[in-house]
Amino acid sequence: MPTIPTSTPLQISDKRKVDGLSPGDADGDPTADINVLLVVYAFPPAGGVGTLRAASLARYLPGEAIRLDVLTTRNPSSVVSDFSLLDEIPETVTIHRTYTLDLPFPLKKRLKALIGMSNSHSTQSGTATSQTRVFKRLLQDILLPDPQVTWLPILTRAARRVIRDRQIDLVLITGAPFSNYLLARRLRKEYPRLPIVLDFRDEWISTCFGNASFSFSRSERARRFAVRAEAAAIASASAVVSVSNNGLREIKARYPNDPDNKYHYIPNGFDASRITIGRGNRKLQHHNKIVVTYVGTLYNSTEPSYLVDALRSLPLGSKNRILLRFVGHIEELRYKQLLLELGEMVELANHVPQREALNALSETDYLLLVSHDRVNVSAKFYDYLGSEKPILACIHPDGEIRSLLEALQAGWWAPSNDVAAIRQLFLNALAHGKYPFPAFNPDTAKIAQYERKALAKRYATLLHSIAENARDLMSEPQKTPSKT
């Protein structure tokens, strides 16, 4: 397992040996064809869904002739730690950790609540409320595009050092946070021929200023900043990767003059080595209720009010046959209070390490997905796919999740804001009964294409192609101006 040192902010590399070489050595895996630097804000042992894509790339890319360095934060604002994810990272991966000035998650949560209070009490007079509004505006005007922008100065210096010392051939920057992408323009000025790939786990502009799912500030100033910052990052990038087709189309439409082959779709996936797949569970079979499980975080774009209204409208006999389990972090107290209105129908569990959360997938009849997001695809959707359990999805009718759900025959859906349709979705589930049942026949061959190891191989092919094209360009003789 890669060690996590306790060093000064200036000592950014992990204090460990890699194949007998120190992290500062330029040599590395002799079987590697290219040296890639992966830039990610939160990396194991930081837990949560935001770390899984980078963790899977770090786990599998070294097996595809890539020597990988990871540049990340030592103290990310993270809900939970999960050391099991770090255990799976190969020792050939060199991890460079820097400090960031970002606030710890509990303090950030308190500040968010304070800002929220200033909105809810904006009509009240008083010095305290006025000061809160000023503080809120000050934070939102300075911390653009997000609070993690405080990492950027340290990140830039560290990236330059790693690129130089480790002879990096390609830089892969993944986000959110979207402030990570600001690094692209800074690197492009210094390294005009260095391949830079931007990996979008969430689409930026529409997500922040349309869906209002993740945005720290939704002011007009913040929107203008985001539009300019994204344009500068895209212009500096050699390639752009999105985890969703809808997200890719949104990004690409803003830059119609870019070539089509600059944009690529590589979705999230599931890790088959972590998910128990089975046609039945003895513990589950002895449970007399239909168990429906939600795994993950509840936040703006997954808020459960329509779901709760639909379940409350069920006949009493139907209510008594359903057990709804929520496993994960609940972003706001009001969401928790809504769920608790369901009484004995609901069980709430705190955030747990990913392996424990995935175990919950084998102990359920159905998996619950809630998303009001038209553009992005919840990462948990792919873990649900890997479990081969039927999905009950309350989703945007024009979203990508719907098309995937139908194409893979992975479950049933209702519009996320339609109480009557959600009610019927659960009545139909009760009619099917406990898992397994004949009406559920997922397309397992298509689902297998979303396994993380296979997706990492696909990503590696792209990175090798980009690096090879860059080498070819650099090997071309420079044209000298003809004499006239």
Q: Are residues 77 and 146 in the same domain?
A: yes
Q: Are residues 43 and 165 in the same domain?
A: yes
Averaged pLDDT for residues 246-252:
96
Q: SS3 letters for 79-133? A: CCECHHHHHCCCCCCEEEEECCCCCCHHHHHHHHHHHHHHHHCCCCCCHHHHHHH
Q: How many domains is the chain built from? A: 2
Other Cβ atoms less than 10 A from the Cβ of 112: the count is 14
Q: Are residues 465 and 436 in the same domain?
A: no
Range picked from 18-22, 347-351, 415-419 for highest mean pLDDT: 415-419
pLDDT at 218 over 90: no
Retrieve residue 343's tokens: 């009484």
* Full domain range(s) for residue 354: 282-446
Give the orientation angle of helix 305-312 with respect to helix 419-432, to 10 degrees. 60
pTM value?
Answer: 0.84
Q: Are residues 466 and 437 in the same domain?
A: no
Task: Report d(CA 270, CA 408) in Å as an integer.
Answer: 14
Q: Are residues 198 and 326 in the same domain?
A: no
pLDDT at 280 over 60: no
Task: Report d(CA 456, CA 329) in Å as an integer.
Answer: 28
Asked whether residue 460 is domain-assigned, the answer is: yes
Looking at residue 368, its pLDDT comes to 97
Lowest mean pLDDT among 77-91, 122-136, 357-371: 122-136
User: Quick one: how many helices (H) and strands (E) in the chain?
Assistant: 19, 13
Asked whether residue 465 is domain-assigned, the answer is: yes
Asked whether residue 148 is domain-assigned, the answer is: yes
Q: Are residues 261 and 410 in the same domain?
A: no
Note the pLDDT tens digit of each residue in 69-117: 999 999 887 767 888 889 999 999 999 999 988 766 555 566 555 555 4
Contact 37, 69 (CB under 8 A): yes
Tell me which DSSP letter residue 18 carries: B
Looking at residue 6, its pLDDT comes to 31
Q: Are residues 305 and 344 in the same domain?
A: yes
Listed in sequence order, the residues at least 6 apart from 373 whose beta carbon sits closer than 8 Å to its beta carbon are: 207, 211, 213, 301, 396, 399
Lowest mean pLDDT among 59-73, 346-360, 399-413: 346-360
- Per cent of the chain over pLDDT 70 is 79
Tell me which DSSP letter residue 228 carries: H
Q: Are residues 390 and 244 in the same domain?
A: no
Averaged pLDDT for residues 201-209:
88
Which residue, 179, 160, 251, is CA-closest to 171?
A: 160
Asked whether residue 206 is domain-assigned, the answer is: yes
Q: Are residues 286 and 435 in the same domain?
A: yes
Using pLDDT thresholds of 50, 70 and 90, give the confidence band for residue 2.
Answer: very low
Looking at residue 386, its pLDDT comes to 93
Q: Are residues 437 and 368 in the same domain?
A: yes
Report H helices in 169-289: 182-190, 205-206, 220-236, 245-253, 282-285
Averaged pLDDT for residues 432-451:
94
Asked whether residue 457 is domain-assigned, the answer is: yes
Q: Are residues 319 and 437 in the same domain?
A: yes
Q: CATH number of the domain that 419 lies in?
A: 3.40.50.2000
Asked whether residue 124 is domain-assigned, the answer is: no
Listed in sequence order, the residues at least 6 apart from 119 whose beta carbon sits closer than 8 Å to its beta carbon are: none
Task: Report d(CA 351, CA 349) in Å as an integer.
Answer: 7
Q: What mean pLDDT value characterizes the chain?
A: 85
Q: Are residues 302 and 262 in the same domain?
A: no
Asked whether residue 382 is domain-assigned, the answer is: yes
Asked whether residue 2 is domain-assigned, the answer is: no
